[in-house]
Amino acid sequence: MNHIKIWRLFKKIKFYFFVKHINHKYRKEIKNRILKRKCKALNKSYAKEIKDYYNSFGIKIKPYWHHYYSEINGIFSNFYLPEDYFYSTIDLALNKREFGESLMDKNFLDRLFKNIKFPTTVVKNINGYFYNGKNELINYKTAIDLCKKHKKLIIKPSIHTGGGKKVLVFSINKDIIDYNNLTFEQLFSLYNKDFIIQEIVDQHEILKSLNITSLNTLRVMSYFSTDNIFILSSFIRIGGKRKFVDNMSSGGIACGIGLNGNLKEIGYDQNQNQVNKTHDGIEFNNITIPNYQFLMDKIKLLHIQVPYFKLISWDISIDKNSEPVLIEYNLWGQGLNPHQIINGPIFEKYLPEILKISSNFKNGA
């Protein structure tokens, strides 16, 4: 057996055990959710219909997610994507992983994407080296001096992040930070390297009204088909009481957005319970996202700039002037469940195309 055949065999074995691991992990999680929620038994004819649909593409799936989603939102469909198959195969088939690690670094977004606003950057740390907002190399002392010119800033890791982890808003009183009375030296040591420090976005009054303490962002999923970009799903994330981050996992709530920018009547909290208003009592169906169609068009233009990735989830804010501000974009671990719970079977129109791509990828792995 030559080296090429050995390498191909190794890849097949590696992929086989990776899929096994993902299947076990996500199936265990969804079965626990079904039990915890005390979902009614899945209708047998519905289950057969789902399996037959996927079998037509040569793909065997477990309809746990169809069961769970339809129980929560009342939408029954064959076109939901099971979470385990999404993360084990589709994720890898649609997005070139070898390009993603560096291109997802928040410190490089302003170089990568054109014609879009970003939060004003004060300091970047890239692999231990400090840069200012103009991407000029600076020293350690200058980095601290730049931060001291501001009253309030936000710091977050620039890579390997998710769920609002290690996102910290801090105020500055001379040399001391209001978070555990840290000095800047201690703060930099806490984050070590690969982080970014930015000014806080002055968000639009409509978004601010939903929860005044958090930056309330839109999560938008776009798909790069054969020759065009399509918006699959969008929803707004609203932070919990006295929280800065808007993630559902941190007590936030989310609500789907219609084609005209109006919020849907029903949203969901972190436990996937239906709610119709914010923590402060503002009803969703009275809210329209400002400049929504312009934002969707902007996302399509952004996606064209990174054709290595067919599926992207964008986190976008809207500033006081109704202009979109790109916070970050996500290529893996995009959070499939919120999209399908909030907006139903978002892949329906493009699912045959996506399943064919993933099936070819799996057979050639």
| DSSP code per residue over 264-333 | EEEEE-TT--EESB-TT--BGGG-B-TTHHHHHHHHHHHHHT-TTBSEEEEEEEEBTTS-EEEEEEESSS
Query: What CA–CA distance (Å, rounded) separates 277 from 262?
Result: 14
The span from the CA of 207 to the CA of 216, in Å, is 6
Of 197-211, 244-258, 338-352, minimum mean pLDDT range? 244-258
pLDDT in tens, 55-95: 999 999 999 999 999 999 999 999 999 999 999 999 999 99
Helix axis angle for 140-148 and 184-191, nearest 10°, is 120
- % of the chain residues with pLDDT over 90: 75
Tell me what pLDDT residue 83 has.
96
Q: State residue 94 phi and psi, 5-degree precision.
A: -90, -30
Tell me how far apart the terminal alpha carbons of the chain are, to the nearest angstrom. Answer: 18
pLDDT interval class at 227 (50, 70, 90): confident
Q: Where are the alpha helices (DSSP H) in the chain?
A: 3-37, 44-55, 64-73, 83-85, 91-94, 97-103, 109-112, 140-148, 184-191, 205-210, 292-304, 336-343, 351-364
Integer-rounded Cα Rg, in Å, for the chain is: 22
Task: Name the strand (E) or helix (H) holding 257.
Answer: strand 253-257
Q: What is the pLDDT of residue 125?
A: 97
Comparing 100 with 140, which gets the higher pLDDT? 140
What average pLDDT is seen over the chain?
91
Share of the chain above pLDDT 70, in %: 97
* Highest CATH level, class, for 98-115+203-331: alpha beta
For 25, other C-beta atoms within 10 Å of its C-beta total: 14
Pick the residue with more confidence: 217 or 177? 217
pLDDT band at 160 (very low <50, low <70, confident <90, very high): confident
Considering only CA atoms, which of 64, 58, 55, 59 is closest in space to residue 24? 64
Please give the Cα distance from 66 to 50 (Å, whole number).
8
State the DSSP code for 87. Answer: I
* Cα separation, 352 vs 151, whole angstroms: 52
Average pLDDT, stretch 226-253?
85
- Of 55, 14, 109, 39, nearest to 329 by C-alpha is 109
pLDDT at residue 8 is higher than 90: no
The pLDDT assigned to 162 comes to 64
C-beta atoms surrounding 282 within 10 Å:
15
Return the domain boundaries, the chain: 3-85, 98-115+203-331, 121-198
Out of 97-111, 139-153, 160-174, 271-285, which region has the weakest mean confidence (pLDDT)? 160-174
DSSP per-residue string spanning 230-250:
EEEEEEEEEPPTT-S---GGG
